[in-house]
Amino acid sequence: MPFLLSLLSCCLQVAAQNNIATEQKINSLIKKMTLQEKLGMIHANSSFTSNGVARLNIPELVMSDGPHGVRPEHGRDWEKDENVNDSGTYLPTGNTLAATWNPALGYQYGAVLGSEAKWRGKDVILGPGINIIRTPLNGRNFEYLSEDPYLISKMVVGYIQGVQAQGISACVKHFAANNQEILRNSINVEMSERALREIYLPGFKAAVLTGKVNTLMGAYNKFRGQWCTHNKYLINDILKKEWKFDGIVISDWGAVHNTKEALENGTDIEMGSEFTLKSGTDYSKFFLADSAVASVKMDKVKLDKLLDDKVRRILRIMYRTKLAASKKSTGSYATKEHSAVAAKVAEEGIVLLKNNDHFFPIQKKNIKTIAVIGENAARPNAYGGGSSQVKALYEVTPLQGIKNILKGTDVTVSYARGYKIERNAAANDTLIAEAVKAAANADVVIVAGGWVHGYNYNVWNDNAYDAEGFDKPNMDMPFGQNELINAVLKVNPNVAVVLMGGGAIDVSGWDKKVKTIIEAWYPGMEGGNALAKIIFGEINPSGKLPVTFPKHLSESPAHVLGEYPGDSVNVKYSDDIFVGYRYFDTYKVQPQFAFGHGLSYTSFEYKNLQVNYANKATTVTLIIKNTGGTAGAEVVQVYVNEKSPEIKRPEKELKAFAKVMLKAGEEKQIKLTLDENAFQYFSEAKNKWVMKPGRFNILVGSSSADIRLEKGVDVK
Ligand code: BGC
């Protein structure tokens, strides 16, 4: 032990000395730079780059979207670069990753992105997107992770560390409270300090303090009256002072509105392009470019100090990444190994929501015909959704996945389109009639439906439901899918519905009548294969919902307690801390599918719960046993409830979880530790996190609504 301690202290000393040496190098570089050179580094010089200083060997900083793959190359300012190989790995979207509840997969996911970004000559990958999923309507929910700050905090760290281990910077976005796309460029978000601290910030805090993220993107919206990208409270006071973030704050594209505020309130690089800025592509007209900065009345010493801080941050991150001697790998691109990560995330992220009569898994030998219905079954999604678009090397659709798995068997697969993807399209009688015919002649029917992306980034609203810049008009199944499913059910009771998309959708028109419901999100390039393996039992599903599915939109807390989308100037989050299951559980509203819910083909027994408090740590141990006949993984979830709180607290809050793989009949002991944070709430009166010593309940279960074991503990 003494040897290990002295080794550790020696390593820390070396690291500190290296840091001092790097900071000295940076200071001497800054001394050599002209004002123009500094200004060049703090604003865009093309849609995805900012200037370097060639004479000092400082390279440009090269960025790329996005959260689930490296974006297709648009060269400089959207000129298509024909000479580049940009068909890459299309990973499942953020919501799918979150549904794995497997932080180790977060790391692998990030490592794929980092490696591909490196291969494509990028320095910064513009992800992960981690805004809280507050309303089912947000058009970007598919990019985001969860309604729960603890789950986000756990998943985001792996992602960031995976990216950054490749010598590439992650960019956590969009800081903060960018929870709707509608009005995103103008809306002012108002919320309590408690909601900010308990719900909207913890993911970012974990990204900075634990994930050590190199860069962060400011959001488009305003927060408490000031634009987020140059919001004094969010960026200077919280991010840079409280959390000691020493990396780069990058504006969202076109999110800077004021030179003085951007200079003073922590924006380090102003980005944007002809789409987002009125200046067109004249980068010299940017808010952080020469003439705008020159026109600000500010003491020269102060201005120099502000500029030097921004440049210092950029150089610091360059020395941690592209200028670091140890980070010279070239990365790799579109490899089999990367596809395998995409497959694994889909296999663990797809969620079995309902499964009556053991309808799934389907035994190939028991069927002769299968009808696959729905335009979503045959539609690729990689290229849609806005800035997160990916040019996929390939994308296995659900239909293709089902055909692949049935190759070599004598099962016949028929396909009917069923509905037409077109914004505001109603049920199409001809397509429904074709689908009914296919269903009538089949042993089993799989309808693939739900939401869709727009195809083309230039027309994001083109048929888009899940897309940047737009929210969904409602939570209903679009394109007449309810009519389709009900028509199919009339001729064949053996129907499963596969949902795709950004999350909660109203299934109340048919949910009781179908045998099985699966949430497949946007499961990436291998998604169809992963789905087929789950349908036919080669993979035992283990995904769990990272969001609550309300029965109807009108029961969603942002719409019941809060405002959405606001009065076009302000949106008040009066739903406060009661986001997602915190609302449904506390207000006793039954959701359609609860947070943390997800079925398996096997069953799990929870037993022998013990909870011990000692030395400020609460240890939770239990035994989990696979009591069914198939190997499978269970996500053991630990929630905390305060017996008699001083102020209103949620009925329960997730504070620990573990994904456990168990063979048939196997049992394992699980041990989870809760620190003091698990019992705290944010006191507005004291303006800090506090814990009231006393009795807490520890609730352990398979979802927020399926608590299997419970025990009290006195925490001091
Ligand atoms: C999006 C960001 C994205 C950026 C660059 C913005 O419109 O909000 O998430 O990274 O564009 O494409």
Domain map (residue ranges) of the chain: 2-71+88-325, 336-546, 604-715
Q: How big is the chain, counted in residues? A: 716
Which pLDDT does position 8 carry in this prediction?
Answer: 67
**Ligand 1 in contact with 173 (CB < 6 A)?**
yes
Tell me the pairing of strands 617-626 and 604-614.
antiparallel
Distance 46 CA to ligand 1 centre (A): 14
What would the DSSP string read from start to end of 130-158? ------TT-TTTTTS--S-HHHHHHHHHH
Question: Is the CB of residue 311 less than 8 Å from the CB of residue 42?
Answer: yes
Distance 566 CA to ligand 1 centre (A): 23
Can you read off the two tokens belonging to residue 351?
């969620």
CA-to-CA separations, 426 to 17, 32, 89, 480, 509, in angstroms, rounded: 67, 65, 35, 5, 15
What is the identity of the amino acid at 378? A
Which pLDDT does position 7 carry in this prediction?
Answer: 67
Distance 127 CA to ligand 1 centre (A): 10
Distance CA 177, CA 430 (A): 44
Asked if CATH classification 2.60.40.10 holds for the domain at 604-715, the reply, yes or no, is yes
**Ligand 1 in contact with 252 (CB < 6 A)?**
yes
Ligand 1 atom closest to the CA of 276, numbered from 1: 7
Domain range 2-71+88-325, CATH class = alpha beta
**Ligand 1 in contact with 460 (CB < 6 A)?**
no
Does 252 qualify as catalytic in the annotation?
Answer: yes
Which among 387, 390, 458 is the best mutation to test ligand 1's pocket, defined by most ligand atoms within 8 Å of the CB?
A: 387
Which among 185, 253, 256 is the best mutation to test ligand 1's pocket, defined by most ligand atoms within 8 Å of the CB?
A: 253
**Ligand 1 in contact with 126 (CB < 6 A)?**
yes
Residue nearest to atom 6 of ligand 1 (CA): 253
E strand residue ranges, 615-703: 617-626, 632-642, 653-662, 667-674, 681-683, 688-690, 694-703
Tell me the pairing of strands 653-662 and 706-715.
unpaired
Distance 133 CA to ligand 1 centre (A): 18
Q: Is the peptide bond before 176 cis (omega within 30 degrees of 0)?
A: yes
Picking from 70, 81, 83, 78, the residue whose alpha carbon sits closest to that of residue 48 is: 78
**Ligand 1 in contact with 181 (CB < 6 A)?**
no
Which pLDDT does position 397 carry in this prediction?
Answer: 98
Q: CB under 8 Å to 166, separation ≥6 — which residues?
A: 111, 114, 115, 117, 118, 327, 329, 331
Number of alpha helices (DSSP H) and beta strands (DSSP E) in the chain? 17, 26
Which among 468, 470, 471 is the best mutation to test ligand 1's pocket, defined by most ligand atoms within 8 Å of the CB?
A: 468
**Ligand 1 in contact with 403 (CB < 6 A)?**
no
E strand residue ranges, 37-140: 44-46, 49-50, 61-64, 124-125
Ligand 1 atom closest to the CA of 220, numbered from 1: 8
Catalytic residue among 148, 252, 575, 576: 252
**Ligand 1 in contact with 419 (CB < 6 A)?**
no
Place of tokens 């790097």: 22
Q: CB under 8 Å to 485, separation ≥6 — which residues?
A: 447, 449, 477, 495, 497, 509, 510, 514
**Ligand 1 in contact with 515 (CB < 6 A)?**
no
Which pLDDT does position 82 carry in this prediction?
Answer: 75
Helices (H), 120-272: 149-164, 193-195, 202-209, 259-264
Ligand 1 atom closest to the CA of 173, numbered from 1: 9
Which among 74, 131, 252, 457 is the best mutation to test ligand 1's pocket, defined by most ligand atoms within 8 Å of the CB?
A: 252
Question: Is the CB of residue 117 less than 8 Å from the CB of residue 168?
Answer: yes
**Ligand 1 in contact with 387 (CB < 6 A)?**
yes
Distance 387 CA to ligand 1 centre (A): 6
Q: CB under 8 Å to 76, separation ≥6 — which residues?
A: 46, 47, 49
DSSP three-state, residue 414 = strand
Residue nearest to atom 2 of ligand 1 (CA): 252
Residue nearest to atom 8 of ligand 1 (CA): 252
Question: Is the CB of residue 707 less than 8 Å from the CB of residue 638?
Answer: no
pTM of the full structure: 0.97
Residue nearest to atom 4 of ligand 1 (CA): 253
Distance 459 CA to ligand 1 centre (A): 15
DSSP three-state, residue 366 = helix
C-alpha 190: how far from chain center: 23
Residue nearest to atom 12 of ligand 1 (CA): 387
Distance 252 CA to ligand 1 centre (A): 6
Ligand 1 atom closest to the CA of 174, numbered from 1: 9
Asked if CATH classification 3.40.50.1700 holds for the domain at 336-546, the reply, yes or no, is yes
Backbone φ, ψ for residue 418 (5° rounding): 80, -40
What is the identity of the amino acid at 335? T
Distance 594 CA to ligand 1 centre (A): 31
Which among 64, 126, 276 is the best mutation to test ligand 1's pocket, defined by most ligand atoms within 8 Å of the CB?
A: 126
Distance 388 CA to ligand 1 centre (A): 8
Helix, strand and coil content of the chain, in percent to the nearest 5, comes to 35, 20, 45
Blockwise average pLDDT, block size 10, the chain, 716 residues? 66 80 96 98 95 97 96 78 87 98 98 97 97 97 98 98 97 98 96 98 98 98 98 98 98 96 98 68 90 94 98 98 79 97 99 98 98 96 91 97 98 97 89 98 98 64 79 94 98 98 97 98 98 98 98 98 97 98 98 98 98 96 98 98 96 98 98 97 97 96 98 96
**Ligand 1 in contact with 338 (CB < 6 A)?**
no
Which pLDDT does position 73 carry in this prediction?
Answer: 86
